[in-house]
């Protein structure tokens, strides 16, 4: 069976993304302000400039920027706005909880409307057209399996929302516009990777394994015909 190979844009290096979006901002928030006696506002602005500029660069250089990347960028921007105009710190907790809740809600709504965002996401990893053809030859439906996977992805974001709320509630105690608030934001960023992002990635990998098991069960496709 001929694979529908498709030219895709070069993906950003994940380690470089972690460095820019997490490691550098965390170091700035935890160390830079105290070391150079910077104001809390300036420290926060410098820390958030790295992921904001990187996000803008990705948007301008890649034509296939996805919905999840855009929401991630908005999340960083909202953190900056809350800190800069010194809204109550509780808004950070609301923001951290609401972003993954919004993603889960939109995934479910789009699935019900038969315009799957998750299918677009999986299409960057799998040869969906090739797999669909193979399923049809066996009189099976791959769309049903994708729909189940989409609802499982929505569940991952619901779990992330709960973890975000617990983490933010435990860490964010100080008022905005203070070095203590900046350090708490830094701690939350640092802990968000092992506590929230890593478990979410593991859950998504398990969903991919579920997909792979179903694909191998109902088709004779090899890995080169399944994965991009």
Torsion-angle region of 139 (φ positive above 0: left; ψ -120 to 50: alpha; else: beta)? left
pLDDT recorded at residue 18: 80
* Degrees, nearest 5: CA angle 166-168-172: 135
Q: Which tens digits make up the pLDDT trace of 82-92?
A: 988 889 989 99
Spatial separation of the C-alpha atoms in residues 196 and 3, rounded to whole Å: 36
Q: Which pLDDT value is given to residue 140?
A: 87
pLDDT given at position 4: 46
Q: Are 102 and 71 in contact (CB under 8 A)?
A: yes
pLDDT at 2 over 50: no
Own/partner long-range contacts of 11-18 (Cβ < 8 Å, ≥24 apart): 12/58, 17/54, 18/193
Report which of 158, 146, 129, 132 is spatially closest to residue 208, judged by C-alpha positions.
146
Integer Cα distance of 122 and 3 in angstroms: 16
């Amino acid at each position: 069976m001929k694979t529908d190979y498709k030219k895709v844009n070069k993906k950003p290096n994940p380690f470089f993304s972690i460095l820019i979006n997490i490691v550098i901002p965390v170091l700035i928030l935890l160390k830079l302000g105290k070391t150079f006696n910077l104001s809390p506002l300036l420290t926060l602005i410098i820390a958030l400039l790295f992921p904001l500029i990187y996000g803008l660069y990705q948007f301008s250089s890649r034509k296939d920027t996805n919905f999840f990347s855009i929401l991630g960028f908005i999340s960083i921007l909202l953190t900056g706005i809350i800190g800069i105009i010194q809204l109550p710190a509780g808004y950070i907790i609301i923001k951290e909880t609401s972003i993954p809740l919004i993603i889960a809600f939109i995934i479910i709504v789009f699935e019900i409307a038969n315009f799957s965002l998750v299918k677009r996401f999986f299409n960057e990893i799998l040869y969906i057209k090739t797999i669909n053809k193979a399923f049809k030859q066996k009189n099976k439906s791959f769309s049903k399996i994708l729909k189940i996977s989409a609802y499982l992805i929505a569940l991952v974001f619901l779990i992330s929302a709960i973890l975000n709320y617990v983490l933010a509630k435990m860490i964010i105690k100080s008022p905005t516009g203070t070095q203590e608030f900046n350090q708490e934001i830094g701690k939350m960023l640092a802990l968000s990777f092992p506590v929230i992002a890593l478990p979410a990635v593991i859950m998504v990998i398990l969903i991919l394994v579920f997909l792979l098991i179903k694909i191998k069960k109902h088709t004779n496709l090899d890995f080169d015909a399944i994965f991009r």
